[in-house]
Structures are given as structure tokens and as C-alpha cells.
Amino acid sequence: MTDAATMAGLDPATLNDLLRLAGSDGFDRIQDQIRRTGGCTDPIRLQGSTVTRDAVTGHVLHSYSTDTEPGGVLRLACGNRRASRCPACAWTYAGDTYHLIRAGLVGDPAKGTPDTIRDHPRVFATLTAPSFGPVHNRPGTRPCRCGTHHPEDAPELGTPLDPESYDYAGAVLWNNHASDLWRYFTIYLRREIAKRAGLTQKAAREQSRVSFGKVAEYQKRGAVHFHAVIRFDGP
């Protein structure tokens, strides 16, 4: 068994568990749940029952209990967007996001977006946090400010050059309020467009619509920044 586990790249205990699972009576249903969750790494495990009755007669129309499921639980995908937490769900989310953004850029009649959308003005913008103090980085072929050519996986990348003077409070507040900052950006952008067009905000809304698609990610220094596609649609 040890040799077989080694060949499969598993430890003996894990291989034993897999063989026991594959030989269980509910293995087909387990496979079905795995497929339905998309191979989720850490699925949500639900326990309980539900009964649907006719409102007039009280007759049971449908009933379900997780007691009939393998292990007594129903597994649902966790839906986590972070690949470090669940690669399978993160991959699904990334694929959905790709198709959504693509449809918003070039159109997709199957998704209710006409092909003519590709001729609408659009901007790809990156909204970055201000500096909270110099950090270790890899500025092209030049050395870091500390004088070192850091390798790509250097653990000090993104950490402050001078921890004593780094604005940690500002960095924390930025991340904490990042969602609100994005919301205010969308509000003030619409106001600025109306102002430059010589229109009231109401008139601008009647003449055009501003659509957004954005993703947030952490930089090496730990600050949230946004990548956004902004599209302008006419009346």
C-alpha cells in the first residue's frame, strides 16, 4: 500500500481514505456532488430537511432530507473568489468575470448585449492608492532604493524601507474605506462629465449612461487598487 501511495503522490492514510470512499455505497452520489460543486476545495456542508405542502389541503408535495445524502450532508460550492482558498471556485469566478467583461466591451447578443456596443467610448483605468511610504520593490533593471536587486520571490518586497516612518494607519484606513472610495469615484465622475458637457446631472443621466466593470486586487505593499473598464452609452 505504501508503494502504491507513493506512486500516486499520496500518503498511505489519504490513499486508504480514497479507496474506502470509492468502495462505499454512496460513491456515485458523492461524485455527483463533486461535479455539481465544480470540484470545490472546501464545500459548504448543509444538514437539515425541507417539506413543501399544498397550502389548501396540506398534502405533502415534496420532501427532502440530507439524511439520504452521503455522510448526511449536502455539499454546495463555497464560491470563494481567492485561488489561495479555493482554486476551483476562483477559476469559475474568473471565467464568469471574463465573459461578463468581454460582453460589455465587444457585445454578445446571446447575453442581451448588442454588437454595436463595441463602438461606444470606453476607458481602461487603474485607480491606485497614494504612497504611504517607500517600500522594497523591483524597479525594472535598477536596484531597489535599499541598493539590492531583489529576486521576484523576495519576502521583503512590498515591505517598508523605514517601518518607523511608514504610514501604517493611512494604509489600513485606505483598505478599510476602499469600497466607499470607489462608490464616491463613480458619483463624482458622473458629476464631472455633466459639468464638462454643460449639463445638469439630471440632463446628463437622460443623455447618457456610464457603466462600470471593475476588479480589486492587492498590490505587493498590501494596498487595494482597482482596475476598471468604464463605458459611455448614449440615450
pLDDT along the chain (235 residues), means of 10: 57 78 79 89 93 92 91 90 91 90 90 89 94 90 89 90 95 96 95 92 90 90 94 84
Contact present, 89 and 40 (Cβ < 8 Å): yes
Cα 7 to the center of its chain, rounded Å: 35
Please report the pLDDT score of residue 4 as a whole number. Answer: 56
**Axis crossing angle, helix 168-176 with helix 178-196, rounded to the nearest 10:** 70
Q: Please, where are the H alpha helices in the chain? A: 2-8, 12-22, 27-36, 87-106, 168-176, 178-196, 201-207
Please report the pLDDT score of residue 88 as a whole number. Answer: 93
Please report the pLDDT score of residue 5 as a whole number. Answer: 52
Total residue length of the chain = 235
Please report the pLDDT score of residue 9 as a whole number. Answer: 67
Q: Where are the domains of the chain?
A: 2-76, 80-112, 120-233
pTM, two decimals, is 0.67
Please report the pLDDT score of residue 91 as a whole number. Answer: 93
**Which residues, at least 6 apart from 81, have a Cβ–Cβ distance to it below 8 Å?**
89, 90, 93
